[in-house]
Each structure stands twice: as C-alpha cells, then as structure tokens.
Amino acid sequence: MKGILVTNAFWQWRKEAFDSLANALLDAAKKRNIDLIPRTNQDFLCALPDLPAVDGDADFVLFWDKDVRLARMLEQAGLPVFNSSRAIALCDDKTLTHLALSRAELPMPRTVLCPQTFPANGYPDVGFLNQVGEMLGWPLVVKEGFGSFGYQVYLARTAEDAAGIIRKRAGTPLLFQEFIRESAGQDLRLYMVGGECVAAMRRVNPRDFRANIQHGGHGEKYAPTAEETALAAAACRALRLDFAGVDILQSARGPLICEVNSNAHFTALAALTKADIPGSILEHVLQSVVK
Ligand SMILES: Nc1ncnc2c1ncn2[C@@H]1O[C@H](COP(=O)(O)OP(=O)(O)O)[C@@H](O)[C@H]1O
Ligand SMILES: [Mg+2]
C-alpha cells in the first residue's frame, strides 16, 4: 500500500508541533507497512487542464492541509483523498459548516450569518447588529468563518463591540452566535475516526471563555456520553468526514456542536488519553481504500 501525505509548505507558527503531527502519521504508516510519502502543497504545480503529477502508483492521499483546490485537483487526478476536498472546505469555513449541520438538524448554538460586504466598501451601516442582538442577546460570540485555536473567536458585549470586530474583517465570512454562558471556558473535544470516538477530553479554561489550549485551557480526561458521541458521529456523517476533531458545548439544553475540525491536532489529546490517534486514522484509510 502506498500513500501520499500532503502538508502545507508555508506553515510557520509552532512549526515543530505541526511537524510532529506529520511525523506521527508517517510513523503510524511505517508500523503498518504503508509506504507514506511526505509531500507539500507546492510539489504539485501543474498547468491546467493537465493534472498534478503524483507519485505513480499511490493508492490514496492523506491530506493534512486546507488547500482545498489542490485536494480537488488530486481527486480529479483519480486519487481517493482523506478527508475529501468537499469535507475540508465545509469544515474550514464555520459559516458553511453551520449551514450543513443545520440542514442535518443537529443541535448548535443559535447562529446568525453576517451579511457579507466587499473589502473596499466595509460596513458603513451596521444597523443590522441591533436586530442580531435582539435575536441572540448580549453578549454574543462573533466568529470569523476561517479561524483556528480560538484566535478568530470574539465576545461582543454590545453592538459597538460587534461593529468594531466586523469592520476590521470586512469581506471575510463572519457569524454571530448565542453565547452559551453555562459552558464559558469549557468544551469537549471528541476525536472521531470512521464514525467512532477514539479519544476525548474536556477542556477547561478559568481565564477565558475560549477553552482552547492556546488561550490557557487544559485538557482533562473525559468519557463522552452516548448522546455526545452520537452527536459527533452525526456531524461527521453530515460533513462526510473520515476523521475529525469535534468540539461540543455542554449547554443547559443538552450537547451542542460548537465546530468541527477536518485536520485537528492530536498531540495533546493523544498524550492525555494514550490513544493511538494517528494509528486509528491510518487503519481507517487502509480499510476505506481496500473496500
Ligand atoms: N457560542 C459559544 N458560546 C460559548 N463559548 C463558545 C461559543 N463558541 C465558541 N466558544 C468557545 O470558544 C472556543 C473556540 O471556538 P471554536 O468555534 O471552537 O473556534 P476555533 O476553531 O478557533 O477553535 C470554543 O472551544 C469554546 O470554548
Ligand atoms: Mg475549536
């Protein structure tokens, strides 16, 4: 069995952590006698309509990147890509994730998608924020469609706060979300592979409403309930994800999907739970390719 591992050539921030994820996937492949070749997204330049030259007899691509155009090209070249370009694109933009999960009628915090403007126009009139406030209450959460590690997630206490946030991000997808007060600074991370939960933790952050480790959160061992696992599995089905990190908020009205990550980092979770997450990912890919 031969596969290609695609990572991003330009990633700089905490590069060691990023490299260690790739190395863990390469090690897991080696243990299973899979020849997994590391490549980056700059190794496949091609002049369309030619398709990228890929290592001849590769059976699959493990796509550890968000370059959805390259993922699509590799699919067009006839390779099975994990996760698929469609699944990665849906997860990468939280506004699209939300639409797909709403369609599947999965419970999530109440959400309003922000009307999109053009970068050159900005938001000269933000009167609609009063309406958003009436729908969701204050404070509310503002999220950029594209964001990770909690860095593009904000708490707006007033319409003025929200205006300041969105004006700086004109032209990008944005959403407003009901603030789930009772779960402030806490969430669950379920690592799902092939519809099964292979590892889970509760993240707790006493210093910030965002539970992300990057904002001071820490992981605690946690055994998810059947309802939480079923919800995470349903989210993966709706987004057609082979593997994912699913964030769940424990609200007074039950578990709610917060967001879904198609390329979730697993180092901290694997260390906490001793679960072999890269091994599970490779096993799942193997089974899917052999089918
Ligand atoms: N609607 C919400 N109510 C309360 N807390 C939230 C809400 N949305 C996000 N959070 C907190 O912010 C963190 C980051 O948000 P998330 O949507 O997971 O973005 P990211 O992709 O940056 O991790 C979550 O882990 C959670 O702790
Ligand atoms: Mg998250």
pLDDT at 230 over 90: yes
- Nearest ligand for residue 257 CA: 1
Could you say which architecture CATH assigns to the domain 2-82?
A: 3-Layer(aba) Sandwich (3.40)
- Nearest ligand for residue 97 CA: 1
112 C-alpha to center of ligand 2: Å?
Answer: 18
Through-space distance between the first and last CA atoms of the chain, rounded to whole angstroms: 13
pLDDT at 51: 87
Taken in order 94, 214, 212, 205, is the CA torsion positive or negative? negative
Query: What pLDDT, in 10s, does the model give residues 52-103?
Result: 888 778 999 999 999 999 999 999 999 999 999 999 999 999 999 999 999 9
What value does the mean pLDDT of the chain take?
96
pLDDT at 170: 96
Could you say which architecture CATH assigns to the domain 111-179?
A: 2-Layer Sandwich (3.30)
Same fold yes or no, 2-82 and 111-179: no
Q: Which of 130, 135, 194 is nearest to 163 (CA)?
A: 130
Look at ligand 1, atom 18, and give the residue with the nearest C-alpha.
259
Domain at 90-107+183-290, CATH from 2.40.50.140, 3.40.50.880, 3.30.470.20, 1.10.3720.10: 3.30.470.20
pLDDT at 228 over 90: yes
pLDDT at 55: 73
**Region of poorest pLDDT, from 10-24, 85-99, 113-127, 150-164:** 10-24
pLDDT at 15: 87
The mean pLDDT of 243-268, rounded to a whole number, is 97
Taken in order 251, 254, 260, 263, is the CA torsion positive or negative? positive
pLDDT at 283: 97
Query: What pLDDT, in 10s, does the model give residues 152-204?
Result: 999 999 999 999 999 999 999 999 999 999 999 999 999 999 999 999 999 99
pLDDT at 41: 97
CB 176 within 8 Å of CB 142: yes
- Report domain extents, the chain: 2-82, 90-107+183-290, 111-179
Atom of ligand 1 nearest to the CA of 212: 25
62 C-alpha to center of ligand 2: Å?
Answer: 22
Among 153, 180, 186, say which to mutate for ligand 1: greatest number of ligand atoms within 8 Å of CB. 153
Among 146, 154, 250, 258, say which to mutate for ligand 1: greatest number of ligand atoms within 8 Å of CB. 258
243 C-alpha to center of ligand 1: Å?
Answer: 20
The mean pLDDT of 278-288, rounded to a whole number, is 97
Q: How confident is the model at residue 241 (pLDDT cuts 50, 70, 90)?
A: very high
Look at ligand 1, atom 22, and give the residue with the nearest C-alpha.
150
DSSP 100-114: HHHHTT-----EEEP
CA distances (Å), 180 to each of 33, 138, 234, 252, in order?
A: 46, 11, 21, 9
Find the residues whose C-beta lies inside 6 A of ligand 1. 109, 141, 143, 147-150, 152-153, 177-180, 183-184, 187, 209-212, 247, 249, 258-259
Residues 6+ apart with CB under 8 A from 125: none
pLDDT at 18 over 90: no
pLDDT at 13 over 90: no
pLDDT at 150 over 90: yes
pLDDT at 2: 96
